[in-house]
Amino acid sequence: MTKTKRIAHAVVLLVGVGLLAAAAAAQTPKNASPVASFSAFLSQGSGATVEFDASASADSDGRIVTYQWVFGDGSTGSGVVKDHAYARVERYNVTLLVIDDAGATGMVTRTIDVEDLQPRSARSPKVATSAPSVSLSTAQVGNRVGMRAPEFSIPGTDDVNVRLSDYAEQVVILEFWTSTCPACQASMAGLEALRIRYEAQGLVVILVSIDQTATGPADFLTRAGYAGFVSTIDPYPARVTRASYDVGHVPHTFLIDRSGVIRYSGSPGYLTPAAVEAWI
């Protein structure tokens, strides 16, 4: 075989290998990126040590293998749960980067005010994990943990009214929010992680916007790529649903079990996978 023929043969082999690789790549399912989410708690016994918990992060088609933290004071760390001691009690922009077993990444950044944090133990009583189930026929209707969640009928994004009773026998996360609230926007990643993780087991996330119009919420959810939530708006100015749930500041989250009883009420950042799993 002449040198020219050998070169031509090598080129043909390389082109063939390239075509095979391209075909294999085309047949390989696209890997979904993981969703990064975390909570922050004040560590017991120290005014400036914070416990960061990324267990709410999720990967819909694999598992997360790396958790990387940037604590906002020049320090970094790794691990699902990480304690970090700050030199001063002030606000920090904290970033969590997660990487799944296929190399895809997810990232979230939140502003943490150390002075406003509470110990994990101070928040846990809000989650009922061992209360006996209460039938819909006997539970008192109200907006507190252990009570039957008030029924509502409010417009969805498709102009069809959404009722809580439409999701009877499902576990419901009910989130009150506004599209212009930074904390509300930041909480969506955690809600999405819970939805992805437990949707197949009967979890649904219903968003109740208290914006004056539906345009802002719809635009934000579209830009952020959150298509799996049930999005509604509490009509302005009456805000009947907000009043019936006695919601003041947003974001405010309720976890409602399959019998319609409220099992959690509070900040979405403290609604952990363990709290949801207790009622799935």
Q: Residue 40's closest CA among 98, 103, 112?
A: 112
96 lies in the same domain as 163? no
pLDDT of residue 51: 87
164 lies in the same domain as 178? yes
Identity at 205, one-letter amino acid code: V
pLDDT of residue 129: 46
Q: Does 7 score more than 50 pLDDT?
A: no
Q: Residue 260's closest CA among 135, 162, 131?
A: 135
pLDDT of residue 59: 74
Residue 22 lies in a domain: no
Q: Is the dihedral of CA 103, 183, 280, 160 positive or negative?
A: negative
Q: What is the mean pLDDT of residues 229-245?
A: 94
Q: Does 239 score more than 60 pLDDT?
A: yes
Residue 134 lies in a domain: yes
- For residues 150 and 262, what is the distance between their CA atoms, to the nearest angstrom? 10
262 lies in the same domain as 131? yes
Q: Does 167 score more than 90 pLDDT?
A: yes
The per-residue pLDDT for range 94-131, each reduced to its tens digit, is 999 999 888 999 888 888 888 888 876 544 434 444 44
- For residues 121 and 138, what is the distance between their CA atoms, to the nearest angstrom? 31
Structure tokens that stand for 148 in this block: 């039957």
Q: What is the mean pLDDT of residues 236-247?
A: 93
The per-residue pLDDT for range 50-84, each reduced to its tens digit, is 988 887 777 777 788 889 999 999 999 998 888 89
Domain boundary among 79, 99, 121: 121
Q: Does 237 score more than 80 pLDDT?
A: yes
Classify burial at 169, counting beta carbons within 10 Å of its beta carbon; exposed 0-12, middle 13-18, buried 19 or more.
exposed
- For residues 259 and 70, what is the distance between their CA atoms, to the nearest angstrom? 41
Contact call for residues 67 and 94 (beta carbons, < 8 A): no
pLDDT of residue 47: 65
Q: Does 39 score more than 70 pLDDT?
A: yes
Residue 29 lies in a domain: no
Q: Does 242 score more than 60 pLDDT?
A: yes
pLDDT of residue 157: 77
Which helix (H) or strand (E) covers residue 101, if one does?
none
Structure tokens that stand for 22 in this block: 């391209």
Q: What is the pTM of this model?
A: 0.57
pLDDT of residue 62: 76
Residue 4 lies in a domain: no
How many Å separate Cα 45 from the centre of its chain? 29
pLDDT of residue 4: 53
pLDDT of residue 116: 81
Structure tokens that stand for 86 in this block: 């700050």
Confidence of residue 225 (pLDDT cuts 50, 70, 90): very high
pLDDT of residue 12: 41
227 lies in the same domain as 270? yes
166 lies in the same domain as 244? yes
Residue 180's φ and ψ, nearest 5 degrees, are -100, 5
When divided into structural domains, the chain yields a total of: 2
Query: Which residue range forms the structural domain that includes residue 57?
Result: 39-121
CATH number at residue 72: 2.60.40.10
